[in-house]
C-alpha cells in the first residue's frame, strides 16, 4: 500500500508545558532553533508523505502560518541580501501540501483522529504526535512505512521504556513476528508497572487504515470523557493483523519539561556550529 497523507494532531492544550504553552502552542516551541512542528513535517516529507493534514483546535491557527510565506520578513531579508536566512525562512513553505482539520474541544487522541476522517478519505494514512521527536539514522516514519507498505497492515511505533515510566504510556502485549517486529495482541493505557503486559510502549507514530474511523465511532469515552485511540486499536487488533515495530533511534518527549530540556541538549550536541562550545560549557558545570 502507498501512504500519501499524514495527520499531525495538534489540538491539545499542552498543560504539562505551562506557562510556556499558555498563549504559544507547544508545537511551535523550538528544539534549538527549529519549531517541533517543522521537525515532524520534515520527517514526514523525508519519509515520502505528500500531504499533511494539520489537526488544529481553537487558538492554534498560527501553526499553519509557519508553513506559509512571510512577505514582510522575506522582503527585508531579500533587500539586505541575507540569502541564507531567506532560504531558512522559506524552507517550511516547500515541505508539503497542507490541509487543515479541526477539533473544537480536546476530547482525546481518538476523537482528534476521527475529526480528520473527511480529509483522509478512504486510504491508508499516518498519524504523527508532534510531541515525539526522534533522532534516528532513518526517519522514524520511514521505518514504519517501509514495513507497512510491504505488508499493507496497520503498524505502530514501539520503544522499550523503563519500569518507572510504564504508567506514562500505552503498553502493548505482543507475540514475536521477526526481529524488531511484533504482532500486537493487546494494549493497556498507562498501566501500573505490575499490570503492564511488556516494556514496549507505543510512541507517537502510527500507520493506520481507514477502517479505524468506524471503530473510533464505536469507542465509548473513558477517563475524563476522552476517546482513546488505544481502544480503537484494540478493536482493530481483534479483527486483523496489527504490527508494532521497535524504532531505531533516540526519542524525546517534548510535551514534558525534562524531555524538552534533554532535546535541546541532544540536538544542540549534533550541531557543528554549537556543539564544541556546548560541550565545553557542560563539562564546566559543577557537579550537583
Ligand atoms: P498529549 O496529551 O501529550 O497533549 O497528546 P496535550 O493534551 O496537548 O498535553 P498535556 O497532556 O495537556 O500536557 C498528544 C498529542 O495529541 C494531541 C496533542 O496536541 C498532542 O500533540 N491531542 C491530544 C489532540 O490533538 N487532541 C486531543 O484531544 C488530545
CATH number at residue 39: 3.90.550.10
Cβ partners under 8 Å of residue 260, min gap 6: 17, 29, 252, 253, 254
What is the pLDDT, as a whole number, of residue 191? 93
Single pTM value for the model: 0.95
Q: What is the DSSP letter of 244?
A: E
Express each pLDDT in 139-174 by its tens digit.
Answer: 999 999 999 999 999 999 999 999 999 999 999 999
pLDDT-derived band at 288 (thresholds 50, 70, 90) equals confident
Query: CA-CA distance, 41 to 273, in Å (whole number)?
Result: 23
State pLDDT tens for residues 30-68.
999 999 999 999 999 999 999 999 999 998 999 999 999
Tens-place pLDDT, residues 222-275 = 867 899 999 999 999 999 999 999 999 999 999 999 999 999 999 999 999 999
Q: Indicate if ligand 1 lies below 6 Å from the C-beta of 16.
A: yes
Query: Tens digits of per-residue pLDDT, 105-116?
Result: 999 999 999 999
Q: How confident is the model at residue 19 (pLDDT cuts 50, 70, 90)?
A: very high
> Could you tell me which of 208, 48, 60 has the C-alpha nearest to residue 120?
208
Ligand 1 lined by 10 (C-beta under 6 Å): yes
Contacts of 217 (CB under 8 A, 6+ apart): 114
Burial class of residue 64 in the structure, from the number of CB atoms within 10 Å of its CB (0-12 exposed, 13-18 middle, 19+ buried):
middle
Alpha-carbon distance of 149 to 275, in angstroms, equals: 37
Instruction: Summarize the confidence of residues 177-186 as an average pLDDT.
Output: 94
Task: Report the domain count for the chain.
Answer: 1
The three-class DSSP label of residue 134 is strand
Give nearest CA residue, ligand 1 atom 5: 12
Pocket-testing residue among 25, 56, 170, 255, ligand 1, by greatest number of atoms within 8 A of Cβ: 255
Report the alpha-carbon distance of residue 1 to residue 208 in Å, rounded.
11
| The length of the chain, given as a count of residues | 288
Residue of 12, 55, 190 to test ligand 1 pocket, by largest number of atoms within 8 Å of CB? 12
Cα of 210 vs centre of ligand 1, distance in Å, is: 22
Cell of 140: 522514524
Q: What was the pLDDT predicted at 287?
A: 85
Our answer on whether the CB atom of 143 is closer than 6 Å to any ligand 1 atom is: no
CA–CA distance, 259 with 236 (Å, rounded to integer): 31
Residue 268: CB within 6 Å of ligand 1? no
pLDDT score at 76:
98
Q: Residue 94: is its pLDDT beyond 80?
A: yes
Q: What is the pLDDT of residue 222?
A: 80
Nearest CA to ligand 1 atom 2: 12
Instruction: Give me the chain's average pLDDT, please.
Output: 95
Query: What pLDDT does 23 receive?
Result: 92
Q: How high is the pLDDT of residue 1?
A: 85
Given this model, what pLDDT does residue 215 score?
Answer: 96
Range of the domain at 20: 5-284
Q: What share of the chain is helix, strand, coil (3-state, %, to 5)?
A: 40, 25, 35
Amino acid at each position: 500500500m502507498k501512504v500519501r497523507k499524514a495527520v499531525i494532531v495538534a489540538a491539545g492544550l499542552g498543560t504539562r508545558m505551562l506557562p510556556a504553552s499558555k498563549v504559544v502552542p507547544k508545537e511551535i516551541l523550538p528544539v534549538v532553533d527549529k519549531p517541533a512542528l517543522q521537525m515532524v513535517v520534515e520527517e514526514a516529507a523525508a519519509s515520502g508523505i505528500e500531504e499533511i493534514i494539520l489537526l488544529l483546535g481553537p487558538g492554534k491557527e498560527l501553526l499553519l502560518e509557519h508553513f506559509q510565506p512571510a512577505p514582510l520578513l522575506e522582503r527585508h531579508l531579500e533587500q539586505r541580501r541575507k540569502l541564507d536566512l531567506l532560504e531558512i525562512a522559506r524552507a517550511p513553505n516547500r515541505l508539503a501540501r497542507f490541509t487543515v482539520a479541526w477539533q473544537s474541544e480536546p476530547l482525546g487522541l481518538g476523537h482528534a483522529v476521527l475529526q480528520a476522517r473527511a480529509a483522509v478519505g478512504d486510504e491508508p494514512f499516518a498519524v504523527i504526535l508532534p510531541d515525539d521527536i526522534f533522532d534516528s539514522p532513518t526517519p522514524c516514519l520511514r521505518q514504519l512505512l517501509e514495513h507497512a507498505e510491504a505488508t499493507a497492515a496497520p503498524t505502530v511505533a514501539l520503544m522499550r521504556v523503563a519500569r518507572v515510566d510504564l504508567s506514562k504510556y500505552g503498553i502493548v502485549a505482543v507475540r514475536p513476528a521477526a526481529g524488531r517486529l511484533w504482532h500486537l495482541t493487546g494494549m493497556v493505557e498507562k498501566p501500573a508497572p505490575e499490570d503492564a503486559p511488556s516494556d514496549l510502549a507505543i510512541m507517537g507514530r502510527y500507520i493506520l487504515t481507514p477502517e479505524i474511523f468506524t471503530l473510533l465511532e464505536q469507542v465509548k469515552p473513558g477517563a475524563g470523557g476522552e476517546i482513546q485511540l488505544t481502544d480503537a486499536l484494540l478493536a482493530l487488533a481483534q479483527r486483523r493483523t496489527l504490527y508494532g515495530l521497535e524504532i531505531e533511534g533516540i526519542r524525546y518527549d517534548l510535551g514534558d519539561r525534562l524531555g524538552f530540556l534533554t532535546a535541546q541538549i541532544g540536538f544542540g550536541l549534533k550541531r557543528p556550529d554549537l556543539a564544541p562550545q556546548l560541550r565545553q560549557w557542560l563539562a564546566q558545570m559543577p557537579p550537583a
